[in-house]
Each structure stands twice: as C-alpha cells, then as structure tokens.
Structure 1
Amino acid sequence: MSVKIIIGYLRLLNRVLQQEHIDLSGVVAPELWQDFAACLENPDEQEFDVERYVVLLRAAQPYFTRPITLVLAEHANLQDLGLMGYLASTSLDLQQALQLLQRYYSLIFKQTNLEQLDVQQFSDYIQIVWNASYPDYREMYELNLALIFKIAESIAQDTLIPPQMIQFGYAPHTALYHFEKFYGCSIQVHAGQYAIRFPHQILKAKSIAADQQLNQVLSSQAQQSLNSISSVEIQQQQFKQKIQSYIEQGLLQQEEVLQRYVAKRLHCSERTLQRQLKAYQLNFQEILDQYRLEQSKLYLQQGKSFSEIAERLNYADQSAFGRAFKRWTGFTPKQFLKSL
C-alpha cells in the first residue's frame, strides 16, 4: 500500500533538518533525496508517500538523542497539518476539535485507505484510537499521536491536563522513557492499536482562536475535499488491487513480461491497459515495485535467502534484487534485516 502525505509533513522535517544543520543527501539513496527536494519545490506537481517519509525519519534519527518523531512534534505548527490544523484552531473547544479530527483525519493523507481514527467517549474519560496494520509505518503512527497531543496543547487556552494513558501498537525503536517524559504518563504497548486517553474534563477546554463562522466554512471545504476524493480513490484502489493480484499470479508462474500477462488476464491489449492505468493516475512499474517491496520485506522476515527472493520476484539475480531494494528503501537487504 502506498499512502501519500500532505506537503506540511515534508516542510516540517525540512525545517528541523535545516535548524539542526543536518544534511541527509549523502545518507539516503540519491533518488529519494531528489524526490524529497522536488516535492518541496513543486508540491502541486510532485507527491511523496509515507514509506519514503519513514525512511527519511530513520535516517535522521542517529543525529538526535531523542525520538525524531517527538522532535518534529515539538517544532510543528497548525499550518503543517493543512486544513486539519486550521479546523482544530478555529474550533470552539477541544470536543469540537476532536470531532472534526475524527471526521477529516484522512485529509492529512492524500488517500483515504489508511486506518480510520475513532474518538470514543466514556463517562469519565475520552480516548482517541486507531488500528495500526503496517509495522513499517510505526514512526508515522508515533508522529501522528504526538501531533494530536501537541495540537490539543496548542489550541487550549489553559494548561492541558496530561493524558491518563498512551498506547503504542508497536514497540518503538527508541527507549520508552523518552515518550513517557513527553506525554507525562506511562506508555503501554498493545499489538496493532494506538490510543491516547484524556480525562473527560478536557473536552470543555476553550480554543484560543475560536471562530465558528470560519470553522463552518472550513468544515464545508473539508467535506467537499473528502467527497471529491472518496469515489475516485475507491475505484483507483480496486483497479490497483486487481493489477496486483495478476502481478502475483504472473510472478508465481514466472512470466517473463508481466505487463503483457496482466493485460491478457484483463482481456485487453497492453496499450489499452496503459490507457486505463493513466485514467486512474497509476503506473504499472510503480505498482510492480510496490508489490515487490512489500513481498521482499515479508520474505526477509521469514528468513528466505536473497537468491530465493530474487527468483520469486523475477529478478535476474541476487544483485539486481539488492539494488532494487536499496533504491526503494535507502537500505540494503542486510541493513534492513539488521534493523529488525
């Protein structure tokens, strides 16, 4: 799965790197750094996905003594979250801000197929929960959790009561005590689910910049954005999943030209397939690379040899697989295994 993120996340990371005089251009793969720079320069024409963003976060981590996700959250402002940030700041109180966050959370990303955020209210506390199905995204989950906390802090007129509980869906790569100090409470790890719990009284915490008229205008814009992308994204995802299923079949059968095989399964010519992909703003090679990346990570975790993975994914040899893996992630397969 490839989930695109809004430009604010890239600007936030770039701002922190510049302030700390950190240059990652010689640390990550050149193509990755070039794409990062291109997206910052032309955000309307370029897109950046979560997976590559996480690679940059991991590359930056050795330069900090604390989790990079917490450093970013402390440097973040509401504008970094785009429309979602403005909606939160103009809300009457935290209760309204959290309701809007739940409704429009997917607008932080450029696709709607990430896990949905759920705001749950109980008699004496409120908690924000979302399932986390992708361990490769753990830094992104940690960052979003920290951003939710910082948003609540920044828009409340009075000092915010610390959370009662923080839950991580995956154990972080850095020590838990950093997060406990940041949130002011204990951290639990419960597989596959992130959560933050506040006492119920924070719901009435008033917003510094409350403006209901502007908030209604922004809410209307957010709903229009959500409506416009939902149907297109669903159709795009369905077509993409169909392509991936045929790619999987083609790889199992060791088909030499996968695009020709997929076109045949779709009962069309390769040219027609290309037109259909273009209509959905998709690229066959990108879909193939994404599938190979996800499968290669799975195979590596299962302990399969590099040569076996190369054969299963239809690479000429082990070296070709290694070069492709580093191009995708910025790490060699050996470095990836070591990070696990």
Structure 2
Amino acid sequence: MADQRPAHQETDSNRHRDSRPALHGQYAAMLLDTLSLNTHEQHQLLQECNIRPALLSSQDAFLSKQQSHQLIQRVIEISGSPWLGLTFGERLNLMTHGALGQAVLSCNTLKQALDLLLKYYRTRMIHARLELLYEGDLAVLSFDFDEEYSEAYRFQIETVFVCLVKTGMFFFGMKLMHQGQVQLSYPEPDYLKHYQNTFFDGVTFNAPRNALCFQRSLLDLPMAMPNPSALKHAEQACNELMARLPQQTSLVEQVKALIFSPDGEQASLEELAAMLHMSSRTLRRKLSASGHSYRTLTDQAKIQQAKELLVTGDSVEVIAEKLNYSDPSNFGRAFKRSTGVSPSVYRDSQLDAPEHA
C-alpha cells in the first residue's frame, strides 16, 4: 500500500531535525570575521539567519542545522568564494577549538590525540559522526553528517578536513600524506586547484565516504608538546562541556563517552554521576528507564576498547589486564559473547582485511 501520510508530517519531521543543535556558535563568529562587515551589517546578517548575537560568544551555545546552513550559504554568497570552506579551514588551529584543542595538543601520541578527538568532538559539532577504523595497514578517520549534499555540507567537510590535514602537517610534516588519501563523497568541484594546494594529488571525489586514510603504523608518532598536567585540566574541562551538551546527545551517549579516560581509567557510577551533575541514584534510574545499566554500558565500552587494542598489536593477556578482567579467559568469554568470535579470530580478520584503495 502506498504511503498515505499527510505531506505536512514529513515537513514537520524535517523541520524538527533542522532545528536541533549542530555547530558551536564560536565558529559562526569566526566565519563572520572572514567578511569585511561593520557591526550593523553583521547584526543584519545574523538577523536574516535568525541568529541571536549572544550565540556567538557563549561557551555552551550551538547553532541549529538550519541556522548554520543559512549563515554558511550567505557568507559564501557575500564573499564570492565557493571554496571558502578550504580557506576557512586554513584559519583554524588547535587553540580555536577550546578545551578540545588544548587536550589534543597535550597528548603523547597521535593515537591518544585521535582517541580524545573521538571522545569529545561533540563539544564542537553535535551533528557530526566521527569514527576511526582500521583496514589492513591503513587507519581511516571517517567524518560525515546526517544530511543530504549541499553547498553548506561541502563547506563543513572541507573545513574539517583542511583543519585536520594542516594540524597533522604541523606536527608530523608530510608523513601522514605519504601513501595517504583524502576521500570525498561529493563530485569534483570547479575549483580543483584549491584542493590540490592543500591535499596535493591525494584526493578522490565521488567516494563512498568522507575519510582521511593514512598508514596505521603512524599512530605511534609522538606529539610535539606532550603535557600530562595540561591534558588533565583540559580533559576535565571537556568532561564538563560534555555534561552540559544540549539534550540531542542522549544520556547513554554521554555515559559511553565518559566511562573511560584516554589513559584507560574507568569512572565509577558515582564519578559519572558527578560529571553529569546528578546523584548516582538518579543516574541509575535514568539509565534503567532507557533499558541500560552502568554495567552493560561499561561492558560495551570495554569490548569497543578491546577491538581497538587487538588491531594495534597488544596481546590478549595485556588487553585483559588493561581492561581490568580478572584473567584472559574471562576476557575471551566476554569478547566472544559480545562479538560472536574469539579475540584472536577477530584480530586475524582485521589484519587480513584488504587495504582500501
């Protein structure tokens, strides 16, 4: 039978998705600064996009998808630069990303920095999806949004990828680009030379995903400015920001993100509750109402960590100890119960996977 739902229901659903928080307001302020507008003209542009000026300076304020798209589109039109996402990405450095940038800057290795990025990126872009995958000898950092292709979509992908590549080159020179690849899901734009200035010849369009691919062995590269004390303070600030995120990020997602610190320490139920500004009793009740518990979420987080550790070379015994299992056999049973295969079989399946072209 054909779908006979009223058309306005789909429109209302789209409107709801467009109104959800998406992009941190501080990026909008920086985007406005790319234009030579006086204060009155800036306020006029913000009013046109239904954005209150206070959103641009608040630590906790996010623009909705609709607001950010309208602003991006208008700024591109006013600037006359369809490649503005590339040049805007050049303007960003780690310090423009607040506590998240400070945390990444203070890490010991590239792997630790990426783990922190994966844990806290929603403090800057709630609507994004960021994943670190392993395909043969490659590490693949994939990035996307739950939306259709548009000029604003391309702008955001360009901005993030240029920022990531430039940050990587700042710390590691051309190492990450050697045998690396930038994959983009949209068609080749008219301004290809601007891409080549940043990504050289290592860019592919019309790919099945948006991803940065590099040699997995480079994950052990040391960062230039490790600082355990600064990292601790920056991560604490990130935890506080995570706890204050708008409710689009569910309680379960927040708990999963906070259970383990980058150095592997596991937060207790009471510590998680404190980070989320509620009592442990309230946290337990809310998790139960959503069909979860502290124990089940901890087990899921452990298995996810185990998957990552298995493909980086740690032995089953070492992984079991890192994840606080009483012995390797208990770890093996828990892993197989969750994934359907033993840790060794999982490791072999990942290492034998064909390299992504």
Q: TM-score range by the shorter chain?
A: 0.5 to 0.7
Conserved? CA contact 2:118–2:131, under 8 Å: yes
Matching residue within 235, 246, 250 for 1:219: 235
- Residue 118 in 1 paired to residue 118 in 2? no
* Corresponding residue number in structure 2 for 1:130: 143
Q: Secondary structure at the match of 1:82?
A: helix
Q: Distance in 1 between matches of 2:38 and 2:73?
A: 13
Distance 1:224 1:45, change over 3 A: closer
Q: Secondary structure at the match of 2:34?
A: helix
* Corresponding residue number in structure 2 for 1:15: 33
Matching residue within 53, 57, 61 for 2:72: 57
> Which has a greater percent of helix?
1
* Corresponding residue number in structure 1 for 2:322: none
Q: Distance in 1 between matches of 2:209 and 2:49?
A: 31
Give TM-score scaled by structure 1 length. Answer: 0.56
* Corresponding residue number in structure 2 for 1:151: 167
Deviation of the 1:121 alpha carbon: 3.0
Q: Distance in 2 between matches of 1:104 and 1:115?
A: 11
Give TM-score scaled by structure 2 length. Answer: 0.54
Distance 1:144 1:92, change over 3 A: same
Q: Distance in 2 between matches of 1:115 and 1:34?
A: 22
Deviation of the 1:115 alpha carbon: 4.1
The code of the aligned residue for 2:140 comes to Q
Q: Distance in 2 between matches of 1:53 and 1:93?
A: 33
Percent sequence identity is 15
Q: How does 1:72-151 map to 2 (within 5 A)?
A: 72-109=88-125, 111=126, 114-135=127-148, 136=150, 137-151=153-167
Distance 1:197 1:23, change over 3 A: farther
Deviation of the 1:48 alpha carbon: 2.1
* Corresponding residue number in structure 2 for 1:32: 48
Deviation of the 1:72 alpha carbon: 0.7
Distance 1:229 1:175, change over 3 A: same
Q: Secondary structure at the match of 1:4?
A: strand
Q: Distance in 2 between matches of 1:120 and 1:70?
A: 25
Q: Distance in 2 between matches of 1:26 and 1:108?
A: 23
Q: Secondary structure at the match of 1:162?
A: coil
Distance 1:199 1:233, change over 3 A: closer
Q: Distance in 2 between matches of 1:45 and 1:97?
A: 23
Deviation of the 1:190 alpha carbon: 4.0
Structure 1: 5+ residue stretches without partners: 236-340
Distance 1:14 1:205, change over 3 A: farther
Deviation of the 1:195 alpha carbon: 0.5
Deviation of the 1:228 alpha carbon: 5.0
- Residue 3 in 1 paired to residue 21 in 2? yes
Distance 1:54 1:160, change over 3 A: farther
Q: Distance in 1 between matches of 2:39 and 2:105?
A: 33
Distance 1:133 1:169, change over 3 A: farther
Conserved? CA contact 2:89–2:159, under 8 Å: yes
Q: Distance in 1 between matches of 2:128 and 2:228?
A: 29
Conserved? CA contact 2:183–2:205, under 8 Å: yes
Q: Distance in 2 between matches of 1:104 and 1:144?
A: 15
Q: Secondary structure at the match of 1:144?
A: helix
Matching residue within 200, 209, 217 for 2:216: 200
Conserved? CA contact 2:104–2:113, under 8 Å: yes
Deviation of the 1:211 alpha carbon: 0.6
